[in-house]
Amino acid sequence: MIPSRSTGGRAPDALLALALVGALASGAMGRHALAAADPWAGDLRPITAKEWSPARASHLLERAGFGGTPEEVAALARLTPEQAVEQALHAEPGPLPPFDPSGIHDPSLEPFPPSRPATTALARERGEAIGVRVKAGGDRPLQPVVNRFFYWLRASALETHRLAYWWAQRMLVSKRPLQEKVALFWHGHFAVHETKVRDYRKLERQLELFHRLGTGSFRELLHEVARDPAMLVFLDAGQNVKGAPNENFAREIMELFTMGPGHYTETDIREAARAFTGWNYRDLEFAVNVEQHDDGEKTVLGKRGRFDGDEVIDLVLEQPATAEFIAAKLYRFFVREELSAELRSRLGVRLRESDYRIEPLLRTIFLSRDFYSRDSRATQIKSPVHLVISTYRKLGLREIPGVPDFNQITAELGQQLFWPPTVAGWPEGRAWVTPGLLMARGNFAYRVLSPDINFVPPDRSPPDPRIGAVHRAIAQGQDITSATLPGDDEGMAMANVMADRDEDFNTRYGSYKGWQQAIQRVKPIPRVTAAVDLRGMVLASGARTAEQAVDHLLGRFLLTEPDPELRRRLIAYLEGELGTGDLTRAESYLEEPLRGLVHLILSAPEYQLG
């Protein structure tokens, strides 16, 4: 029923195309219209040195990292497959400077209350909170406390933007990009976001954990994550106490971090939650509150005992479902979306046999025929972070540009570091692309190649324009109440009617003051534009004609065979812009037309394939 590609060289008729594309787009078919299944698919045996090629080296570079330049591909292709994979796993990452903190935190902020109401309640009760005393008299006695509360929210968020920049820079220049890619995997797996954690220091610490243990033992990693302050905050561990267990933590450990649904019961979760009671943190350290810990007998996953949290984690790791779940998730992240039940089970066995060490599993995968099969190559839709970093790598950049803003771009594309949407992390694969997001991906390229001269740094522009309006009104001498009035249209939403009715402080004013204090202390992100030199790049490739320039750039950026019509039109575009096909003649004005050309290549749907 489905035409084989070998018989269908012509464009299929419209109806057929629709039916076919519809079926493919929705994933209804297990197999695409290829001539035959690639016998390498599903085969975990290693490829031989004879089978190693620049195309395969390029695939490894893309998946075990963020892609590379033609020169990097050529260098990798000169090695054997074993050497290449060894390099991916163990290359010295290079001199990577540590994160440079702005110095925004001080101990008086600890323990930071869970909300603004909790902060003002504390201040009313004790006469001070988060290092600030209630005013001795006068209007709005709690205002300085509220200002301080918002200061820390803003400052931590801004510092987290800097932390994301620092991480992105590592992704760009590290000589062991796999370490970064694996950290990104674990960040999506053990997803926590800044809005709830509200402390960049905890996020930095968690990232350090992923860098250190990312390819090590999952057993060790899981035990560490369960004691990690960012995770403990995120899953409300502090609320899980003897006699009144909060199940959030135990549930996510089983459902999202280890076994996946279907391998445990609600009773297992309730019992496991008891084992984690009392687990908490003090500032940046793990702490167990012994009085809150329930050390009675529990039944978890068919075993009975006076389990604590660590023992429950070990019980979970004994389950074959855990090894399969983790192995399959790694496979889908590094190789492809679909895998057979049989392959899933084999990968699970390998992971368990190596006592959950990730490195041997990755080595098997990266050397396997399956990894280099047609089913795996150039079939993955790049994640937004992968797209951005690999674009910068292929453009030869050595510094993440400040224009456009890395965090703004990745947020628009759907993957902002330290802000995964939910505890389940980011849905991968086709979920990365919608009609809106596909256009946004092309626009990202435009914003790199043609920087916006009206660019406003987001770390210096308040996220809510109303804060800016408050500043203007205050500077014009208005009193706080009038300056923060939201307006009085009829039919005003209840949210606006009800805002700020407390006489002891003004929330909008606090939000404004908090922002003001934050930008005075958080270091700014440097706003350099991308150091792109396409002219130099193309001439160094030896290209002398527009056609050769197009072919070099298509080869540099696309992993698939370019569509012939697309290639023809790109050549026509470049010749049109240059007024000639001769690059030597056009050498002095080459850069701008090449930027247009690269923007067009990076806007092609195929460029999304990694």
Of residues 574-603, those binding other proteins (CB under 8 A): 576-577, 596, 599-600, 603
Minimum CB separation of residue 24 from other proteins in Å reads 4
The correct pick among 49, 431, 528, 531 for binding other proteins (CB under 8 A) is 431
Non-local (6+) Cβ contacts of 111 within 8 A are 282, 283
Shorter beta-carbon distance to other proteins: residue 166 or 406: 406
Stretch touching other proteins by CB under 8 A, among 103-111, 283-291, 356-364, 427-435: 427-435
In the block, tokens 């994640």 appear at 383
Is the CB of residue 419 less than 8 Å from the CB of residue 411? yes
Q: Is 467 helix (H, G, I), strand (E, B) or coil?
A: helix
- Rounded CA-CA distance 607/605 in Å is 5
Answer whether 379's CB lies under 8 Å from 609's CB. yes
Smallest separation, CB 433 to other proteins (Å) = 6
Are the CB atoms for 392 and 149 separated by under 8 Å? no
At residue 437's C-alpha, the angle toward residues 431 and 441, to 5°, is 115
Choosing from 442, 451, 462, 514, the residue that interacts with other proteins (CB under 8 A) is: 442
Inter-axis angle of helices 309-318 and 218-226, nearest 10: 150
Residues near 162 by beta carbon (within 8 Å), at least 6 away in sequence: 99, 102, 459, 522, 523, 525
Integer Cα distance of 596 and 253 in angstroms: 48
Given the structure tokens 């043609």, which residue do they identify? 450
Query: According to CB under 8 A, which residues from 294 to 353 bind other proteins?
Result: none
The whole-angstrom separation of Cα 480 and Cα 492 is 21
**Any contact of residue 437 with other proteins (CB under 8 A)?**
yes
Among 288, 378, 485, 519, binds other proteins (CB under 8 A): 378
- Applying CB under 8 A, among 27, 94, 127, 524 the residue interacting with other proteins is 27
Min dist CB 328 to other proteins, Å, is 16
Half-sphere exposure of 77 (CA within 13 A, CB side): 15
Query: Per rule CB under 8 A, is residue 23 in the interface with other proteins?
Result: yes
With CB under 8 A as the contact rule, which of the stretches 42-50, 223-231, 314-322, 426-434 interacts with other proteins?
426-434
User: Which residues in 473-532 contact other proteins (CB under 8 A)?
Assistant: 489, 491-496, 498
Return the residues of window 393-412 that contact other proteins according to CB under 8 A. Answer: 412
Is residue 233 within 8 A of residue 197, CB to CB? The reply is: yes
Q: Decide whether 27 or 103 has the Cβ nearer to other proteins.
A: 27
DSSP classification of residue 584? T
Decide: is 125 part of the binding site for other proteins (CB under 8 A).
Answer: no
Nearer to other proteins, 32 or 357 (CB): 32
Number of H-type helices and E-type strands within the chain: 29, 6
Interface residues for other proteins in 541-570 (CB under 8 A)?
560-561, 563, 565-566, 569-570
Rg (CA), the chain: 27
Contact call for residues 275 and 249 (beta carbons, < 8 A): no
163 is a contact residue toward other proteins (CB under 8 A):
no
Options 9-17, 362-370, 398-406, 516-524: segment touching other proteins (CB under 8 A):
9-17
With CB under 8 A as the rule, give the number of residues binding other proteins: 96
Q: CB-based burial of residue 322 (10 Å sphere; 0-12 exposed, 13-18 middle, 19+ buried)? A: buried
Helix, coil or strand: residue 556: helix
Residue 380 CB, shortest distance to other proteins, in Å, is 7
Letters for 234-273 (x = contact with other proteins by CB under 8 A, - = none) are --x--x-x-xx-xxx--x---xx----x----x--xx---
- Residues 443-462 touching other proteins, rule: CB under 8 A, are 443, 446-447, 450
Q: Is 74 in the site for other proteins (CB under 8 A)?
A: no
Per CB under 8 A, the segment of 24-32, 211-219, 280-288, 399-407 that binds other proteins is 24-32
Collapsing DSSP states into helix, strand and coil, what is residue 381? strand
Which residue stretch of 19-27, 47-55, 69-77, 394-402 sits at the interface with other proteins (rule: CB under 8 A)?
A: 19-27
